[in-house]
């Protein structure tokens, strides 16, 4: 905590005021300094809770990045601000930024209403990097109207995304077997809006039909959101007005019937879980010796796991450990 008291406080003030340099620097710190992140997140937290957080998922190659660039331009033309947190472990990396990022950045960098941040994926196979939620919090606190999280959306990611966002957009493209994969991945259960991107390609209407068919297997009840299907094409620029409209419509739907409060509770719950997981990380320097000792005792069967956990948790709460 100590080392981040001075400068970060100012940084946070500037970031909350919308200063893009301060936002960028805080983002870097949140991503690279996991020990400082919890305190920064807690500073940002009171300023957050106003952005519309959107998850953009779909398999690699469906054009999520260029789709987001077009959506950002559309929202910007409406006077709205969009921040994008991009996580795509399948992208070829070069020095932390992908080719796609650079293309996207060059399109969006000149637009003060759009902020793109790519997370260097660290070959994690265990879902989203913890800093994804931190970055969402940062952009939310910095006053962006929308924060979009772009991810490949494998099983684990997808679940975590749904604990982070208000609206989930699933992107598909024309191509054989897509709808079957959709079903298999269980992705159909959580998307609020379906985008059929590259709608200029042949087969696009078949994909829409397939999605509609799959959706009809579990129809929305009265008062439930009826997921929409939006064809888009970056080539001829169609669909982005409709997509922006649907995204707004979904938020209004949530607001109108009390579901937004439920979703915010779910998000807060996952925030609590995340804070507890961080608070109980064994990697914290001040408990390293204790952890080593306890692990050795466990390995020698001198103590049992429950007692070991209690000892470490006590120490983490800065109380005297009982051994």
Contact residues for a second copy (CB under 8 A)? Answer: 38-39, 41-43, 45-46, 48-49, 123, 125-127, 154-156, 158-159, 186, 261, 264-265, 267-269, 271-280, 282, 291, 294-296, 298-299, 301, 304-310, 312-314, 316-317
Residue closer to a second copy, measured from CB, 25 or 263: 263
Closest CB to a second copy among 187 and 230? 187
Cα(124)–Cα(127) distance, integer angstroms: 7
Least distance CB 316 / a second copy (angstroms): 7
Question: Are 63 and 69 a contacting pair, CB within 8 Å?
Answer: no
Give the nearer residue to a second copy in terms of CB position, either 64 or 274.
274
Comparison of 27 and 204: residue with beta carbon closer to a second copy:
27
The least distance separating a second copy from the CB of residue 313, rounded to whole angstroms, comes to: 6
Taking the complex as a whole, the smallest distance from the CB of residue 151 to a second copy amounts, in Å, to 14
Residue 85's nearest CA partner among 140, 123, 9 is: 140
In the complex, least distance from residue 169 CB atom to a second copy, rounded to whole angstroms: 20
CA dist 79 and 97 (Å) reads 28
Q: What does the alpha-carbon distance between residue 95 and residue 168 come to, in Å, rounded to a whole number?
A: 30
Look up residue 109 and give its two tokens: 């960098």
Whole-number minimum distance, CB 294 to a second copy, in Å? 6
Question: Contact, 164 vs 147, CB < 8 A?
Answer: no
Q: Which two tokens stand for residue 28?
A: 């870097």
Question: 236 vs 322, which CB is nearer to a second copy?
Answer: 322
Cα gap 278→276, rounded to integer Å? 5
The owner of tokens 């209690």 is: 310
């Amino acid at each position: 905590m100590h080392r981040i008291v001075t400068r970060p406080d100012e940084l946070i003030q500037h970031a909350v005021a919308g200063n893009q340099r301060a936002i960028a620097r805080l983002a870097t710190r949140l991503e690279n300094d996991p020990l400082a992140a919890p305190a920064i997140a807690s500073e940002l937290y009171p300023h957050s809770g106003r952005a519309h957080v959107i998850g953009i998922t779909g398999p690699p190659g469906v054009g999520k990045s260029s789709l987001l660039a077009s959506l950002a331009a559309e929202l910007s033309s409406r006077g709205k601000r969009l921040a994008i947190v991009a996580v795509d472990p399948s992208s070829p990396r070069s020095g932390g930024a992908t080719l796609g990022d650079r293309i996207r950045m060059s399109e969006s960098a000149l637009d003060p209403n759009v902020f793109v941040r790519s997370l260097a994926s660290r070959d994690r196979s265990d879902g989203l990097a913890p800093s994804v939620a931190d970055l969402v919090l940062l952009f939310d606190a910095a006053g962006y109207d929308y924060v979009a999280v772009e991810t490949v959306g494998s099983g684990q990611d997808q679940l975590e995304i749904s604990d982070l966002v208000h609206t989930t957009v699933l992107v598909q493209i024309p191509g054989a077997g897509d709808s079957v994969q959709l079903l298999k991945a269980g992705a159909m259960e959580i998307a609020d809006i379906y985008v059929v991107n590259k709608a200029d390609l042949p087969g696009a209407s078949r994909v829409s039909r397939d999605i509609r068919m799959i959706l009809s297997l579990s129809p929305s009840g009265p008062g439930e959101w009826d997921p929409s299907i939006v064809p888009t094409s970056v080539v001829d620029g169609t669909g982005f007005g409709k997509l922006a409209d649907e995204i707004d419509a979904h938020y209004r739907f949530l607001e109108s019937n009390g579901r937004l409060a439920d979703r915010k509770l779910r998000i807060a719950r996952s925030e609590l879980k995340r804070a507890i997981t961080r608070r109980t990380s064994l990697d914290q320097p001040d408990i390293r010796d204790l952890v080593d000792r306890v692990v050795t005792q466990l390995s020698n069967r001198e103590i049992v796991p429950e007692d070991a956990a209690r000892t470490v948790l006590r120490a983490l709460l800065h109380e005297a450990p009982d051994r």
